[in-house]
Structure 1
Amino acid sequence: MSEVGLNASQKRILETEGSLFVSAGAGTGKTHAIVEKFFALIQDPLKRVDPLSVAAITFTKKAAGEMKERIIRHLEDLSGKPNMATEAERILNAMPFVWIDTIHGFCSRILREFSLEMNLDPSFEVLNEYQKERKIRGIVLRELDQEIGGKKPEEVKLLLNQFRLDGLIDLFIQALSRKRFEVWDIFTPRAGESEPTDEVAKAFGNLFKRILAVYEEECARDNAVDFEALLLHTLRLLDEHEGVREHLAERFHAIIVDEFQDTNVLQKRILDRFAECGKTTLIYVGDGKQSIYRFNGAEIGVFNVTREQFDETRYVTLEENYRSHEKLIDFYNRFFPKVFGNQPDRYGIAYEPLTPGKTDKEDRFSAHAGRVRLLPKAKDFAEECFNLCAYITHLIDKEHRQPKDFAVLLRAMTAVDTLTAVLERYGLPYYQVGSTNFYRRPEILSLLSLVRALYNPADEYALVQLLSSYLSPFCEEEILEMRQRDRRFLYTGLKAYVKEIGSTDSQKGLFLERIEGLRAHLPLRSIGELLREAIQDFDYDLYLATLPNGPKAWLNVKKLLEIADGFTGNASTREFLEQMAQENVIKEEEAAIESEHDDVVRVMTIHKAKGLQYPIVILPNLGFNQSPRSHIFLTDWENRLIFFSGDAEGEAGEDPVDQEDNAVRASETAKDYSELKQKEKAREYEENKRLLYVAMTRAKEEIVLSFSERPRNRQNRPAPPKKGFLPLLHTGGLIVPGTEWAPIEESEYAGLLTPAPQDLKTIRAVDQAVEPSGPSTGETVERIPQTAFPLEDRPYQKYLSPSLLTSVEKTDAQATRRILWRHEEKKTDDLLPELFKLSFGAPGYTEEVGTLVHKVLERYGDKDLSGITRETVDRLNRSFGFPDSVVEATEAKIRRVAGHPLFDDLRKAHPCFSEKPIRKLRGRYILSGTIDKLYFLDGKWHILDFKASRANPQYLERYRFQMRFYLFLVKGLVQPEPEKATLFFLDERETMDVVWDAGFEEELDRRIGDYERAFVN
């Protein structure tokens, strides 16, 4: 293959024959070099190497697929050249069968070929994580039960004294699931070694081997293997069958190992078997500074030990960085030598400097490239999110950036909801990579709680979840009333409560009817069919469409249906619920509307960002320190040492890193076990350095750093210090040592560090409330503590709507409190329809028609209303159950107003928000309102509110107050601020404008006082 476009180091990789070790820094063209080397090996005109004799092992399936695509594209180009066409066709024909795969795919293919030697069926199934965990848990519980009830339970008694039953169960589950090879290796005696002398270690090892044997027997019976078994079986195959080992060594002329820094001990031993034969060339390619997968078993020690086996003639460093601006490369070369240190230990790595790579696209960077920015210190992570979103908005406005230029990288997804909520408030489109909160999403929990309650009506927790879910018409107070009716069984209390209220609330009666109907169908439906029936019965798709993030919620539901369709047969419901209960094992990602290729801000963990690059990388929450990993036991693969946590007197689950005397030797040659604790701490600290390196080197043009103060506890004292990346910023000389966020002004980074814009606080989101000033402050509901007031006062004292402030009759206090409690829980609809009958005594079905009209206009008000049919209104009415006369009246009202010019304005507006809830603090209360339509047209923001009744003079003053209340809520949220709010009376097709007046706040305070005297005192 042509060497055009290769730098000197890359050419050396191609020219060097035999085994090779390549250390490839971030952005140095590693993948390009691997593909070139692959071609060089199979295109040798003298040897005519079989393409199937060269294997490439990648870290992920995606990387393997990308490598194949690159090779195929290049071969297709070559096939058009007369002198290369025949050779290109030869290799293209072999491409479907080439050995380019992950290590697990590589081993699976070998085992299927040599299945007889390992007593395997070649059609074996590979278990997923859930299937493996479920099988292991069942075997552990069963075997321990048998051991405890056996004739010789001495070993088990010894272990129970050490770990107690729950701890012992967890110990064996982790040993089999996460550390199987390490434990197996430690307790497999080697020549010249004696058995462990410690009784606890010996008992554990014996029982571990017995349970492992049972697990392997059951897997063989079920014709299944898990991922770790693929590797263990392959190692045994190579160790126990010399003929197979020699045959494979003859077959593979070369094996290229990509991302070698993420290799574990077991994987390395498999590769060693090929190297030991002396016939296979091993080419290791990786970057020790990017080894960040210890939680998956990767060991930087494997990388370091292997590197030491290669002399200078077979060690190549790729150092030309083609990703980052030269100023950022200069920053890396100044900062990271201090962070990594000049003399790393066995668990560290030395920093190898990078140089700017030269390409034909020297104008690939923007005029503002090469900055490292520190955003202002924030009081908490929420304020950090506002700062970084304001900064993104600033660069989009001032430097013509696009959302896709930004990536926000997090240590963990624990606080991602706060970030995404602020991104939404700023109107910034985003793509969240790898969110694993799928089963905790409210739209998913609603359906799962329904299935659990149907399957087991005595499951009180599931029933409470269901009654509090999106599917339920009940409020918290009503659930308590159900409990009063039957203190033993909540489901009986539900039926009694619905029977008692009778026909006064058809929606609640319909809820119970639907539940009973679904329960009757439970034995007759698959879980997928049952969920689809529930969605149709409850009009769940229509309900989700009314939510602010409705399309994404509906995609999540569709994803749940796809998962449910995988469960069939009589046991489908039980198995489905069992899997859902293992959500900590099954890390299902949420469905996404935006693609990673769209113009969106990327939000992901640093681990997910590995191998990717973005113009601007934002690293928030730099003081975040992930909780220490919980270890039931530790293993030392070098010295074959095992270290247990917990003892008869100690606390169960105590982390062994912080213990003193719980280690046991597995062999006489092990070092003092106290060193193991120090090694574990050193490994975690070194990996923290590498994680920061991976995060920063994703940037092409700019790095943005952000930090928030330590949170305070309930006593208003600073919480214990969080380390995170902050000590590394001190070590690297960015931040003054001993401070939290004080940049070193006169430092070697003076030409690189750029202060953030001073006006971040003035860059507001579309619906961002004003900053605290005076008696009124803007806050999101999420940021207001739920325990701000005594529990007995909270439902009616916390939220104030215009309806409540104009309904101050003392006789209405109890009913008003009930409605506001429901409003506080649901946080959706305006209270006017519910309070209309209380305050105004509307006759007939006025309230019902108004409610249904509002629902139609909420859903379709910015679309062509002429397309609304009786069927459309009927469908929306299913969640209410109003009589046909209400549906007919609603359809007539909609048809009467369909051609009004206001609806033409709504169709042209962008954006147009429907049923927009807005909250604003004022004193001890939260002012709350839901605007029918808030839209932007012709350079102005507009407020529109629909009234299903006529413009009755008796109520006009109340309406005017409501509109000025909305204008007050919106002040400071949008620019330019709306000058007026419009009332649209649907019966008369007439409008009335209400303008803002400066005296409103005085009237507001007076009405709040009237409310307190009527309802609180």
Structure 2
Amino acid sequence: MAVTFTPDQQATIEARNSSILVSAAAGSGKTAVLVERIIQMVSDGDHPVDIDRLLVVTFTNAAAAQMRERITQALSARVDENPGNAHLLKQLTLIHNAQITTIDSFCLYIIRNHFDEIDLDPDFRVADDGEIRLLMQDVLSQMLEEYFTKGEEEFLACVEYFAPTGKEKRLEEQILGLYEFAMSYPWPGEWLEEHGRDYAVSPETMEQCRWVELLEEYVHTMLGEAADSLEQALTISREPDGPYMYLDTLEEDKCTLEQLRAAKSLQELYEGFAGLSFGRISSKKDTGVSPEKRERAKEIRGIVKDLLGGLAKKYFYASPRSQAERMAACAPYVSCLLSLTNDFRIRLDEKKREKNLLDFHDMEHMALRILTEKREDGVYPTAAAREMRDYYAEIMIDEYQDSNLVQEYLLKSISGEEDGRFNRFMVGDVKQSIYKFRLARPELFMEKFERYGKDGGKERRIDLKQNFRSRHQVTDSVNACFSVLMGRDLGGVEYDKDAALYPGAVFPEPEGEEEDVYRTEVLLTLAEEDGLEDREREALAVAGKIRRIVGRLPVADKDTGGLRPAGYGDIVILLRTTAGWDEVFKKVLEKSGIPVYITSKTGYFAATEVQTILNFLKVLGNPLQDIPLFGVLKSDAAGFTDEDIACMKAEMGGAGRRLYTCLTAYARQGSREELCGKAGRFHDMLDRFRRYVAYMPIHQLMEQFLQETGYLYTISALPGGEQRRANVEMLLAKAENFEKTSYFGLFHFIRYMEQVEKYNIDYGEANIQDENADTVRIMSIHKSKGLEFPVCFVSGLSKKFNMQDTSKPVIMDMDYGIALDFMDVESRVKGNTLKKSVLSGKLRRDSLGEELRVLYVAMTRPQEKLILTGSCKDGEKVDRILEEGAMKRNTADNRLRFLTRSEAASYLDWLLPAWAVCGQEVEMLTAADLLQDHMEEEQGKESLKQRLQRFEKEALEGKQEEGEEVRLLRERMESVYPHENLKNLYTKTTVSELKKAGMEEAAEEAWHLFEEKEIVPYLPRFIREEEKVSGTARGSAYHKALEVFPFECLIQETESGPVSRERVEELLNQMAAEGRLSREFRAAVSPDKMAGFLSSGLALRMARAAVGNKLHKEQPFVLGLPASTLNPEFPQEETLLIQGIIDVYLEEEDGLVVADYKTDAVTRAQELVNRYRVQLDYYARALEQLTGRRVKEKIIYSFALAEEVVLQ
């Protein structure tokens, strides 16, 4: 069916011969319009354009791929309509080479085609973030070391200023921060040099600084706010029952304000604030005066006094002369810091040239160097730029509000505007500019938004205001809120009729619904003494609401065009930040039976399996690191318990000794034989792997670790095993990628991963989620941009804004330079400079504007229904705000005052007064309400609140009879746990315990599995030393010997006949001499018995498997089984984890063979079968589950009987 475009969309598609700015509101169909414009340009009958002569720049690779796909589909449709059109057929060929790309890919394209113009080796490589961070750290460390060696006074003074003794890292942080910031400027060296003089001011020149103009403008704005507030107090006081006795004082305050507002310079403002004083307000009593109005007038005056006092304290605590002198004292340190930063920039560029590397900054700046030439009188296009100008018919820029200054210069240089050919097409929405942290410049969009005319011309603006995404209930809520919150002063754009959303989508409507099921809802939970955190309480409210939505709320079905019940997959929960929130919500929702998935770009490095492998690598690099070693020992890869580690520490040196030293000592002479063996095996493995480090690539080192420990199998069998396995595989891939960088070796890989983690280059956990799964999704608001969902919860509204950047030691601004604190180096006394106060305030206001735009993005995601949730501690305060805001409802100007909006600390601080003004209902939820919701879900009865109200009424009327509700509650309170027999059912047990239980004939004796283990009394070492070698120790010795035995060395001997005792003894002694077998174990192993085993058919099969690398020894595993497998009385849904270590298994053509060595003193083979059948069955079951292959044979080798026992 042909798409029908609105008049504004059609105008956007058809406009030609002008530079066009399209202000496209959320859900306005900008992508469809852009695609149609391209299609019409390439298929124009009179002036067709080849598609490869259009440059289309998008924000992400995914957006570029989607755009290319849509254009290809549209072209194919046109070809189907006009099969003989040679021009259209040509476009289908050219589309593959068309520049539909991201800005960095386009820059790369420019560099590859013009590398010779900047003397670049064409064999360059684009480095990843981790490698660049390593390189930056190395260059910076070397540079600072050189400066310290020279010891120049200016540098040492700068170090003392920014990084006093013991805090030298702070200087590195300042340099790196300034470098990153400067690189968003087209000519970073010039920016650093120019603003290195920022603090070189005098009392005479400071008044002319641009930032002083900014201060004066802001102060006058706030004085205007104060005057408006004072006028409000005067109006109240003049009312018939108003506090008339306040009028004189308020009039005096008004005169004071007028004098301040008349100030024309910084000096005059300082003098006005220095002499600021307020008279005492009258205490006269009059019963005819309304107490409410008296308090309100007094409250408003208090707000005015606080406002003016705050301005005086922040900006006018010292005279302009004193401020200038204080800044001048900082000037040498500012100059040195920016000079160091520029030197670092130059050195880093040289090092990247030397290694033939490029990063993202290089791509943009090198492309800019190729296309522009900077002269004293301006920026001029190069021959390469003019060539591209002539080639490209139009330059189309998507998400223009997120462009930076480098990109602006770059794309402008290849447009024809300077030659009178206006051919830029820019699409975006400044209300959705939310990438300030990437140094986006929404001001570029706003400058054109205000300058371009709406009536045609060479520079034209077209507004797309109709929203084709959401029901009118959603757009109505968005308009109502942002019309009172967003303005040019906060948010960057006036939210007027041009910025508002107009519903354009047609939705099917449900029949017979009495209430508006799609209305926007607000849920606020009240803080109470219920033992819950605010976020847990809020998550409970969300869970309750989800349960009422799923299966009940009708949503549009894209396939049928009708309605269907909402499912979990229709719901998304949006959070400003997921850290510390997503896991809480996930836990609460899952406990409520709601399937949930976290869509996150973080969490990878926190994953246990990733931490374990990285810790192991750190231990290989330096085994004396206690924390990484402890992490490895405690992991499933090593299997040590807290008790094991405490025992080693206590027995081998106490708390002051390194853990590795204790481990080593315990492996040689520990008192507990089993732990001694375990420590020895781990120590041997560690030593072996440390030798591997010298020649084995990192990814192979990790693969070897996974293979020898069976760790990958173990984590795969745990809950979430698929995710864990994917995380490990991602780490292996990252290791392989690292090996392609200019760095190599374990030391640098560990540094590489540390830098990646430090700078939040978090990969996010490997994504294994099916996007079409019927699961509630939790994601950040930033990740949701560009997406849409039937039902959206915007949660965490009461979370405080992150304003940490405003208090950093150095503040940076692209237009106003840098600002920092003043410090007396001798006394170490610190204080703000005036410029620091000004730029800190500006940064806070800019950040608030960004937060407002983030909120806009969140509230414009839903298609059908929007639910906003938060928490509050003071219900009465909420009621008061709602009541006060209601008085402004339906007034001509209901915009919240700038003072109110600029003092917000959370989204809730904005939304509460906005909801009051627009009449939005707010539902306050108490703990009883949350309990009521739970009772509704559990029992399907009438609400708890209604029942409690009826109970109260009956109690007042004297009706004390026990009703049905009381009976049900009594049953619940007096109920007995139905699974008393599970009280000792542990979630994890071992195969050995199962084997013991399997030996019991009576079914009821299987309970022994789950009872607590008997504590064996500790025996002093001297007593134990008197004992002969125990059966357990002998078994451990044989297992260890066979684990390290080189079967592949005996293949010829086993093939030809029995292995001699002498040869076995030689090999055993050799293993002991090499440290692979301890002296105690060597003494416990009989060469005769070993020779007997090595002459067996099983040993021959093992030797053949070893040659083909198909022999697996001491394979640990964890197997998850339903508890009912062990006893039918256990519930099916309970899961039991079984862990164990398989002595050996081998791969043969037609299946697997699992074997176990036994040293039990038995006289008949059947005894071993009875004892160990259960154990071997579980081994086989685990292998089949983990490998996907059939276990064809189960064998026990008895050293006592010197024979193989095959289990049927």
Pair 1:411-2:551 in alignment: no
Q: Secondary structure at the match of 2:866?
A: strand
Match of 1:326 among 452, 472, 484: 472
Residues 73 and 626 (structure 1), Cα distance of their counterparts in 2 relative to 1, 3 Å cut:
same
Which runs of no fewer than 5 residues in structure 1 stay unpaired?
Answer: 664-672, 712-720, 735-743, 779-799, 805-829, 866-871, 899-906, 908-1017
Code of the aligned partner of 1:46: D
| Alignment CA distance shift 1:328-1:703 (3 Å) | same
Post-superposition CA distance 1:658-684 (Å, at most 9, x none): x73174xxxxxxxxx643222211101
* Match of residue 489 from structure 2: 344
Report the CA distance shift for 1:424/1:236 in structure 2 as closer, same or farther (over 3 A): same
Alpha-carbon distance change, 688 to 96 in structure 1, aligned in 2, over 3 angstroms: same
1:335 aligned partner:
481
Note if 1:67 corresponds to 2:73.
no
In structure 1, the partner of 2:832 is 660
Please report the TM-score for the alignment, with normalisation by the length of structure 2.
0.60
Structure 2: distance between partners of 1:876 and 1:494:
25
Tell me the equivalent position of 2:334. Answer: 201
* 1:248 corresponding residue in structure 2: 388
1:897, 1:480 → 2: CA distance? 32
Matches of residues 1005-1016 of structure 1 in structure 2 within 5 Å? Answer: none
Give the 5 Å matches for 1:874-885: 876=1142, 884=1158
Q: How does 1:219-230 map to 2 (within 5 A)?
A: 219-230=352-363
Report percent identity of matched pairs.
23
Q: Given the alignment of the two structures, is residue 402 of structure 1 paired with residue 567 of structure 2, yes or no?
A: yes
> What corresponds to 1:497 in structure 2?
666
CA distance in 2, matches of 1:97, 1:326: 42
Aligned to 1:315: 461
Q: Tell me: CA distance 1:221–1:366, structure 2 relative to 1, closer, same or farther (3 Å).
A: farther
Instruction: Note the C-alpha offset of 1:531.
Output: 1.7
**Alpha-carbon deviations, 1:917-960, whole Å to 9, x = none?**
xxxxxxxxxxxxxxxxxxxxxxxxxxxxxxxxxxxxxxxxxxxx
Instruction: Report 1:888-903 matches (<5 A).
Output: 892-893=1173-1174
Distance across 1 between alignment mates of 2:199 and 2:1140:
80
Secondary structure in 2 matching 1:581: helix
Q: Which residue matches 1:6?
A: 5
Partner of residue 207, structure 2: none
Residue 488 (structure 1) shift: 3.3
Q: Distance in 2 between matches of 1:283 and 1:652?
A: 55
Quickly say closer, same or farther: Cα 1:173–1:435, change in 2 above 3 A: same
Give the equivalent residue in structure 2 for 1:26: 26
The alignment partner of 2:637 has SS state of coil
* Secondary structure, counterpart of 1:483 in structure 2: helix
Aligned counterpart in structure 2 of residue 553 of structure 1, from 713, 724, 731: 724
User: What is the correspondence of 1:813-892 to structure 2 with a 5 Å cutoff?
Assistant: 835-838=1012-1015, 858-859=1120-1121, 876=1142, 884=1158, 892=1173
CA distance in 2, matches of 1:114, 1:365: 65
Which residue type is aligned with residue 257 of structure 1? I
In 2, the alpha carbon distance for the partners of 1:515 and 1:266 equals 51
25 and 833 in structure 1: CA distance in 2 versus 1, 3 angstrom threshold: same
Map residues 737-748 of structure 1 onto 2, 5 A cutoff.
748=919
Aligned to 1:149, the other structure's residue is in SS state: helix
Distance, in Å, in 2 between the alignment partners of 1:651 and 1:562 is: 53
Structure 1 match to 2:714: 543
The answer to whether the 8 Å contact 1:801/1:831 transfers is no
1:420-819 mapped onto 2 (5 Å cutoff): 420-484=586-650, 485-486=652-653, 487-498=656-667, 499-505=669-675, 507=678, 509-568=680-739, 571-582=744-755, 583-585=757-759, 586-630=761-805, 631-638=808-815, 640-644=816-820, 647=823, 660-661=832-833, 663=835, 674-709=837-872, 723-734=905-916, 748-750=919-921, 759-762=932-935, 802=984
**Aligned equivalents of 1:139 and 1:443: distance in 2?**
33
Structure 2 unpaired stretches of 5+: 202-327, 374-380, 528-533, 554-564, 875-902, 940-968, 977-981, 987-1006, 1019-1029, 1036-1113, 1128-1137, 1146-1153, 1161-1167, 1180-1184, 1186-1208
Q: Go from structure 1 to structure 2 and tell me whether the alpha carbon gap of 1:893 and 1:137 turns closer, same or farther (over 3 Å shift).
A: closer
Separation in structure 1 between the aligned mates of residue 547 and residue 826 of structure 2, nearest angstrom: 53
Q: 1:365 to 1:52 in 2, by over 3 A?
A: farther
- Check if 1:390 corresponds to 2:544: yes
Q: More displaced, 501-510 or 755-764?
A: 755-764
Q: Using a 3 Å threshold, how does the CA distance of structure 1 residues 455 and 312 change in structure 2: closer, same or farther?
A: same
2:598 aligned partner, one-letter code: Q
Distance 2:972 2:687 in 1: 53
Cα deviation code 1:821-842 (max 9, x no counterpart): xxxxxxxxx996683344999x
CA gap 1:383/1:325 in 2 versus in 1, 3 angstroms: same
Which one of 401, 404, 411 corresponds to residue 264 of structure 1? 404
Q: CA deviation at 1:91?
A: 0.9
Q: 2: CA distance between counterparts of 1:406 and 1:294?
A: 28
Give the deviation of 1:146 after TM superposition. 1.1
SS at match of 1:523: coil
- Asked if 1:375 is matched to 2:375, the reply is no
Change in Cα spacing, 1:895 to 1:449, as seen in structure 2 (3 Å) is closer
SS at match of 2:812: strand
Q: 1:167 matched to which residue of 2?
A: 170
User: 1:193: Cα distance to partner?
Assistant: 12
Matched with 1:936 is: none
Preserved contact between residue 111 and residue 234 of structure 1 (Cα < 8 Å): yes
* TM-score in terms of structure 1 length: 0.71
Higher helix share: 2
Tell me how far 1:61 sits from its aligned partner. Answer: 0.7
What is the CA distance between 1:40 and its match in structure 2? 2.7
Cα deviation, 1:226-284, whole Å, max 9, x if unaligned, reads 11122222222222262222222212221111111111222222233334343351111
Task: Provide the C-alpha distance between the structure 2 equivalents of 1:345 and 1:510, rounded to a whole number of angstroms.
Answer: 65
Distance 1:403 1:458, change over 3 A: same
SS at match of 1:371: coil
Structure 2 counterpart SS, 1:21:
strand
1:782-814 Cα deviation digits (max 9, x unpaired): xxxxxxxxxxxxxxxxxx97499xxxxxxxxxx
* Structure 2 Cα separation of the partners of residues 231 and 282 of structure 1: 19
Is the CA contact 1:255–1:280 (under 8 Å) kept in the aligned structure 2? no
Aligned with 2:796: secondary structure?
Answer: coil
Over residues 503-522 of structure 1, what are the superposed CA-to-partner deviations in whole Å (9 max), with x where a residue is unaligned?
A: 33455554444334433433
**Paired residues for 1:289-308 under 5 Å:** 289-308=431-450
Q: How far, CA to CA, are the matches of 2:686 and 2:660 in structure 1?
A: 11
- The Cα of 1:156 is off from its aligned counterpart by 5.1
1:760 Cα offset (Å): 2.5
Q: Which amino acid aligns with 2:4?
A: G
- 1:147-166 correspondence runs (5 A): 147-150=147-150, 152-155=152-155, 157-158=157-158, 160-164=160-164, 165-166=168-169
Q: Give the paired residue count.
A: 803
Distance 1:524 1:27 in 2: 56
Q: Summarize the Cα distance change of 1:588–1:897 in structure 2 as closer, same or farther, 3 Å threshold.
A: closer
Distance 1:268 1:831 in 2: 75
Aligned CA distance change for structure 1 residues 398 and 615 (closer, same or farther; 3 Å): same
Q: 2:861, 2:512 → 1: CA distance?
A: 16
User: Take 2:483 and 2:933, find their aligned partners in 1: how far apart are those partners?
Assistant: 33
Q: Aligned equivalents of 1:366 and 1:212: distance in 2?
A: 68
User: Contact 1:288–1:349 (CA<8 Å) still a contact in 2?
Assistant: no
For residue 917 of structure 1, what is the aligned residue in structure 2? none
